[in-house]
Structure formats: C-alpha cells, structure tokens
Structure 1
Amino acid sequence: MGSEVQEKKEEGREETTKGSKKKMLERKRAGKEQQKESLKKQKVEEEKESEEVDEVDEVELKKLLVIKKDEDIAIDAIPLATKLPVIIDYKLHKEGMLVHYQLIRADGSSKIYSSMIRMLQGIDREDLEALWRIVKAKYGDTRLENEFERVLYGDLKVMFEPDIKSDIWIMLQGYRVTIWKLIDSSGVHFVRFDNLHIFMLVERRYPLTPITITNMLNKKLQTDHQNEMCYQLLKLMVKQQKGK
C-alpha cells in the first residue's frame, strides 16, 4: 500500500512538472509571437513614416533648393574621377587670422586649402574619414592649446562624434540661419549661424530642434547642382522636423 501511494505521489509530481514545462513553453512561444508582432508593427510604422516623407514630391523638394555655383571653390577642387592616394598626414599653416589646411598623401603629394569648406569640396568621404582618424589618434581627449588645431578637431568631432550635451548644440539653437550649403563630394552639409557654423554628415541625425530645422528649410539648401544626395538630405530634415 505504501509503495502504491508513493508511486502515485511521484506520478503526480511528474504530471505537475510536465504541466509546468508545458506552461513555460507556451509562455515562451507567446513571448516570441508577441516579439514578432511588435517587430512587425514597428516595421510597418517605419515604412509608413518613410512613405509619408516620400510623399513630399520632387516639385516640393525643389522649392527648398537654391542652385548656386561657387566658382572659387570649384577652381580649387581636385577632380575626384581619379582616386588619389590615401591621406596620411596634415599640417596647419597660420596666415594672419586665417589658417590653411595642407593634406599630405601616401605618394608624397600634398595640397593646401584656404578654408575648411574648400578642403571638404576637394576631398571625398573616404579622405574625410581618414583625416578624422589621423586627428583623433593624434589628440584623443587631450585638451588642445593651439586655437587652429582646436577648431579642426572640434569641427571633425562634431561631425563624427556629436556630443548632444555640449555647449555648441545649446548655443546654436537660438541663432539665425544665414547659409545652409551641401558639399556633396564629401557628403557634408554645413549651416552658418550669426556667430558660428557647424558641419554635419548628410546621412546622420543631429540634435537640431524643429525650429532650427524650419529655419534651415526656409533659408533653403544651397547646392552646386541637383542630385540624389540633395533629396536624401531634404527628406531627412523634413522627417526630423516632424519629430519622426
């Protein structure tokens, strides 16, 4: 009798264990289904948002563009059809209150640019990323004493590693936009405000407020010619303006 009772108890425990495992598996399956449903819903929402932005047709986007040739920059630019050797170093040359940027390439050739904008117009994205790696490796988190080195490092760091808590983002939000220009050779656009400027990568979101973006769009994007990059940037700005 005692053994029969024990057997029944063990059988009951086995049934309970099986039941617990079954419930656990059911919960896991339900969790996975819920996760799949959530991801599916998120994808649908993202596609919907993308479609809403794409609904801004080319005619409307063209209204946000200003085609303006900058002859001085165009003359100074390097033809990008033939890829030049990689940038391996740079030097800054001070001339009065201005600084010139000299980029040195692996074959020993170099070119001097009279401004950051001209330099960005004369290089491509690969060159720009190489320059950032060199500058970052050289200085890291060191506090720079040289004003011109600090400006170059600051411009590149804002582009590639924006700190949303830095003073520059707080400062610029209240300033009037005077110029918004696309430099498509390096995939950069820059905004000039009353008292400062900022360079940004075309495909990246930055902590700009809807008011600042509205001011940029009202000012219109200045570019040398219409291309897909113009529309890519404008669509991103419109989407970010709407808080999406």
Structure 2
Amino acid sequence: MQSCHKSLLGSGTSRGDFAKKIVDLEIKERSLKRFGEELQTKTPKRLKEDKDDEAKDDEPTKNKKKETVTGTETPINPVPVAMKTPSVATYKIIKQGEKGVYQIVREDGTDIVYINFGAMMKSISRDDLTELYRIVMNRYGMDGPEDKLEKGFWKCLRIMFEEPLSTDFIWSEIGQQKIISWRYYDTCRVHCLNLESMDVYMLSDRKYPLSAEVCQTMLKMKLLDGKMNEDCYRLLKMMEKQAGIRK
C-alpha cells in the first residue's frame, strides 16, 4: 500500500494533493458500483421497453410511410370495396285507381317504386327479374292470382320465362293486332312489342313462336332504345332468321 501511495504521489506531489486523489478515486469507485447494481436489478421487461423506445426513435422514415401506403395495418383512408346490389326480397303492387305502381323491396330493406312495368324494365337487372319471377310463382303458382293487377304482373313474367307451349294464349293474339312499337331494354336484356291492347315482354336471348310476318314487321320498325351492343346484335340476327331473311 505504501508503494502504491508512492506511485500515486510521484515526485513533486504534496500530501494534500495525494489525499484529494484518494477521495476522487473512492467517489468514482462508489459510482461504478451503484451503476452495476442498477443494471443487475433492472427487469428484462424494462430493458426490452428501453430497447423498443430506442428502436422507435431510430426507425427510418420509409418504414413509417410503408404502413400507410401498403395498408398492412389499418389504412388512414380505407377505400370501400364495391358491393353487389342486394337481391330482391319481395314486391308489392300499390293500387292507384284502375292502375298500380310497383314497389320492389330488397334484402337490405331499401325499396324503389316504378310507375309501370316498362319503367321497371329500364333499370332492373336480369338477375332481379329472374328473382321476381321465382317470388311470383311461389306465391301464386300456375293458377295465378285473382286480383287483376297481380294477374297482369304474373302473366308478363310467365310469358318471359316459361316455355311457349304453356303461354299459347298470347302468341295467337300478336298476329291479330297492330304493332305500335318495338323497344329494347339493355339493363335486363328484354325486348317488348307494344300492341294495340297489350304489351308483350320477351327475353332477348330466348326464341319465341313469333310468325315470320310479325318478325318482318318488327325488323321494318326502328328498335327503340336499341343500343348496338352484342346482345342487341344477336337479337336482330335471331329475328332475321325467324323472318326468313338471309344475308
């Protein structure tokens, strides 16, 4: 110890300076010891939290940008996914004097009212039309309803979807009446013959027992609202074939 004191004292060092150095060394030793004890008593959880905090501070800006752009977590402004329109749940014919309006109710509770059958054809889809036919037939069957307005609705759908043999009552009448107009509805892919006393709605991709004379008259008329899409083009070709027109 005495030799150690001598080395610390050195040449030209007073005893007062030597004593001060001894005190400084003891203070440093106690500080180091206390720091070591704090490290040993710090829990792994606390060490992990400290490490995570440091990692967040040092996290590159590009990583933070990636979270909002790629949407790996919850995006700030999520874009809603397009959803299919809910299917038809039911319908109701609301009487207004001798006529009626059609109320179509969807599965989500929303509804829309059409002033007549033709107005409904302008916006309804083929899938919705098919579902309406199923609902009507489940409700009334082959006998049909007694109510006049309901029976007219039931008849229109039967003509469109059933085999022609089950709807013979209509085809013989078409040739005996004057055709006022011929109209096409692209949303549901339906065409309609407007006659003097009735309207006949038909699916554009189904062949019906129309006479060659009726088909020729139809082709001479302008197909109203007939947008020349692929379905409309096939309809015209089918009418030409039924009319006996070869090109």
After TM superposition, is the score higher than 0.5?
yes
Aligned length: 164
CA distance in structure 1 between the aligned counterparts of 2:245 and 2:156, rounded to whole angstroms: 26
Kept after mapping to 2: 8 A contact 1:189/1:200: yes
Pick one of 191, 197, 215 that aligns with 2:193: 191
Equivalent residue, structure 1, for 2:170: 168
Equivalent residue, structure 1, for 2:142: 141
Equivalent residue, structure 1, for 2:205: 203
- State percent identity of aligned pairs: 34
Offset at residue 243 of structure 1 (A): 8.3
Equivalent residue, structure 1, for 2:218: 216
Kept after mapping to 2: 8 A contact 1:90/1:103: yes
Matched, 1:96 2:97: yes
Equivalent residue, structure 2, for 1:116: 117
Equivalent residue, structure 2, for 1:30: none
Q: Aligned partner of 1:104: which letter?
A: V
Q: Aligned partner of 1:139: which letter?
A: Y
Offset at residue 174 of structure 1 (A): 1.8
Kept after mapping to 2: 8 A contact 1:189/1:202: yes
Query: SS of the counterpart of 2:105?
Result: strand
> Gaps spanning 5+ residues in structure 2: where?
1-81
Query: SS of the counterpart of 2:191?
Result: strand
Pick one of 176, 179, 197 that aligns with 1:177: 179
Equivalent residue, structure 1, for 2:159: 158
Q: Which has the larger radius of gyration?
A: 2
Kept after mapping to 1: 8 A contact 2:183/2:226: no
Structure number with the bigger relative contact order (C-alpha 8 A, sep ≥ 6) is 1
CA distance in structure 2 between the aligned counterparts of 1:231 and 1:187, rounded to whole angstroms: 12
Kept after mapping to 1: 8 A contact 2:226/2:232: no
Equivalent residue, structure 2, for 1:85: 86
Q: TM-score, normalised to structure 1's length? A: 0.63
> Gaps spanning 5+ residues in structure 1: where?
1-80
Deviations 1:29-70 (A, max 9, x none): xxxxxxxxxxxxxxxxxxxxxxxxxxxxxxxxxxxxxxxxxx
Kept after mapping to 2: 8 A contact 1:125/1:186: yes
- The alignment yields a C-alpha RMSD, in angstroms, of 1.8
